[in-house]
Amino acid sequence: MTPHKDEYLELCAGYVLGNLTEEEARTVEAHLAEGCSACETEINRLGRGAMAFASATPRLLEPSSLRARVLDTVRNDGGQRDGQRERGRERRRPIPLPPRRIAPVLGWMGAVAAVLIAAFALYEWRAASRLERDLAAARQEVSRLNQQIQSEREWAAVATAPQTRTIELKPTPAGQPQLHARVTYDPATRRALVAVSDFVTPPGKDYQLWAITKTGPMSLGLLRTDPQGRALIRLDDAGDPFTLAAFAVSLENAGGAPTPTAPAGPVVMVGKIGT
Amino acid sequence: MRAGDTRALEELYDRNNGLLYSVVLRIVRSGADAEEVLQESWLQIWRGAGTYNEARGTVGAWLVTVARSRAIDRIRSEGSRARAEESAGADPPPPTEDASANAAHRQMSERVSRALEKLGPQHRQVLELAYFGGLTQSEISERLNAPLGTVKSWTRQALIRLSDLVPQEEWT
């Protein structure tokens, strides 16, 4: 057995989360297969941590039809497996077929027909290959467009989902009163749409958006506006609904605050998330 | 279930699919994809019941691991959304919160938040990116502009801290 090394323990967290490189994962697997109890215990402990993290995920109601579909799929799978076993047991010898007979006078006609059929098949095959290539290209394009539609549909759902919250940010005394910002936040997917207007950025400065959580601020990025001071920003992850308390905007030196966990400039807008 | 008892599977489903659905939907972010992933996951669970290893954790944790791995494979594969759209026709209505399950899970969520608060925001962030984003440790290191060794330490510290929330006796 390979002697246990602390480096293996370092790999255990990535192994539990499934985010090691392939080589690292193989190393851990091989080491575990040798029966290292220290690493087995560590994986058990870290697995408990991962389960606690998963258990904190907001629970969503699954579609009522899902249960029946899943169970039907499994039952059909079981039936197929049983069926295969049954067929395996009852396998029989193939029944021999009598040899075909061809009349001698028709032999030469058959040969000519075979050549004609072969030529026709070649022509058809070439045409089919061309069509297949065209079809593959069309399918690829349809797939790309479907992905685009799906993505747009998901973003539209952020605005229409029943659990979505709209947060209007208000200017603070340090902010210009004409600033307008609204965050539409879906706690289920944690996505957010941010719409701002009248954000005229002073030279050498940048507006920065923040999620204010129970553990402190987290940067959500800079607000890049058009020349009219407008922007519509999509955020893939605006924060955990159970720790998120507010959104805020600060005015920073160009490039943003030096650290992503604390604004360096004045906070110019704030909007609390209602319960 | 190892003996092919579908009633055992139904019981496991009823006890665990709420969590599986929420985790998978959080990863794939599409109702149609989540349903497909869960169908594949339960089939894998059914066929691979013999591969479950008690020494590594509870059945519930194994089920979550199977479903999560499938969901991450899904977001890493190209064109999955298009296939889901073709097969499902249209997306189901947006999911709503499960009020009956939320009291218990809210309590766990608060305990998780408190436990991670004692460490730092970066610990939560590495877990979020790894667990729900499916990012590798190198990708997280790049994303957070932090050394790879630091990312590994944050991940391990966070999981160790959270492991205290699930008592050993409930686990095995």
DSSP per position, chain A: -PPP-HHHHHHHHHHHHT-S-HHHHHHHHHHHHTT-HHHHHHHHHHHHHHHHHHHTSPPBPPPTTHHHHHHHHHHHHHHHHHHHHHHHHT--PPPPPPPP---GGGHHHHHHHHHHHHHHHHHHHHHHHHHHHHHHHHHHHHHHHHHHHHHHHHHHHHHH-TT-EEEEEEE-TTS-TT-EEEEEEETTTTEEEEEEES--PPTTEEEEEEEEETTEEEEEEEE---TTS-EEEEES----TTTEEEEEEEEEETT--SSTTS--S-EEEEEEPP-
CB-nearest to A60 from B22, B38, B108 is B22
Residues of A in contact with B88 (CB under 8 A): none
- pLDDT computed for residue A263 by the predictor: 94
CATH of B101-167, one of 1.10.10.60, 3.40.50.2000, 3.40.50.300, 1.10.10.10: 1.10.10.10
* Residue A103 lies inside a defined structural domain of this protein: no
Please state the domain count of chain A: 2
Third-level CATH fold of B1-94:
Rna Polymerase Sigma Factor; Chain: A (1.10.1740)
Q: Best of A36, A60, A153, A189 to disrupt the B interface by mutation (most B CBs within 10 Å)? A: A60
CATH (domain of A208): 2.60.40
Q: How far is CA A251 from CA A130, A205, A208, in A?
A: 59, 7, 6
Pick from B18, B61, B106: CB nearest A51:
B61
Mutation to test the A interface, candidates B97, B105, B138, B164, most A Cβ within 10 Å:
B97
**A215/B6 touch (CB, cutoff 8 Å), yes or no:** no
- The answer, yes or no, to whether ipTM is higher than 0.90 is no
- Nearest by CB: B96 against A43, A61, A144: A61
| Contact assignment for A59 to B163 by CB distance below 8 Å | no
Residue owning tokens 């999509």: A234
The more confident residue out of A74 and B56 is A74
Do residues A249 and A221 make contact, with C-beta atoms less than 8 angstroms apart? no
Q: For residue A251, name the pLDDT band (cuts at 50, 70, 90).
A: very high
Integer-rounded Cα Rg, in Å, for chain A is: 32
Q: What is the pLDDT of residues A40-65, one digit of tens each?
A: 888 888 998 999 999 888 777 888 88
Mean pLDDT of A16-42: 88
Residues A232/A194, Cβ–Cβ less than 8 Å: yes
Residues in chain A: 275
Q: Is A152 on the interface with B (CB under 8 A)?
A: no
Choose the closest CB to A52 out of B108, B117, B128: B108
Residues 174-213 of A with CB under 8 A from B: 188-191, 213
Mean pLDDT taken over chain A: 83
For chain B, give every domain's residue range. 1-94, 101-167
Q: Is A106 on the interface with B (CB under 8 A)?
A: no
Residues on chain B touching A144 (C-beta within 8 angstroms): 82
Q: Hey, which residues 218-257 in chain A have their CB within 8 Å of chain B?
A: 218, 237, 240, 242-243
pLDDT tens for residues A198-247? 998 888 999 999 999 988 899 999 998 888 889 999 998 898 888 899 99
For residue B41, pLDDT over 90 is answered with: yes
Out of A56, A62, A216, name the one closest to residue B112 (CB).
Answer: A56
B38 interfacial to chain A (CB closer than 8 Å): yes
Higher per-residue pLDDT: B101 or B80? B101
> A258 lies in which domain range?
165-272
Q: Is A133 part of any domain?
A: no
Interchain contact, B166 vs A161, CB within 8 Å: no
* Dihedral sign for Cα atoms in the order B136, B142, B143, B148: positive
**CB burial of residue B91 (10 Å; 0-12, 13-18, 19+):** middle
Q: Does B44 touch chain A if contact means CB atoms closer than 8 Å?
A: no
Q: Does A33 touch chain B (CB under 8 A)?
A: no
In a domain? residue A107: no
Asked which of A25-29, A48-52, A160-164, A232-236 is least confident by mean pLDDT, the reply is: A160-164
Q: Is B106 on the interface with A (CB under 8 A)?
A: yes
Q: Span A165-173, mean pLDDT?
A: 94
Is the whole model's pTM more than 0.90, yes or no? Answer: no
**What is the C-alpha to C-alpha distance for residues A257 and A210, in angstroms, rounded to an integer?**
11
Give contacts of B15 with chain A, Cβ < 8 Å.
Answer: none
Taking residues A248-272, what's their average pLDDT?
Answer: 93
Residue A93 belongs to some domain of the structure: no
In a domain, A95, yes or no: no
In chain B, residues with a C-beta closer than 8 Å to the C-beta of A33 are none
Predicted pLDDT of residue A96: 43
Task: Dump pLDDT digits (tens) for B89-108.
Answer: 334 334 555 555 566 677 77
Nearest chain A alpha carbon to B158: A49
A37 in contact with chain B, both atoms CB, cutoff 8 A? no
Give B103-139 as a DSSP string: HHHHHHHHHHHHHHHTT-HHHHHHHHHHHTT---HHH
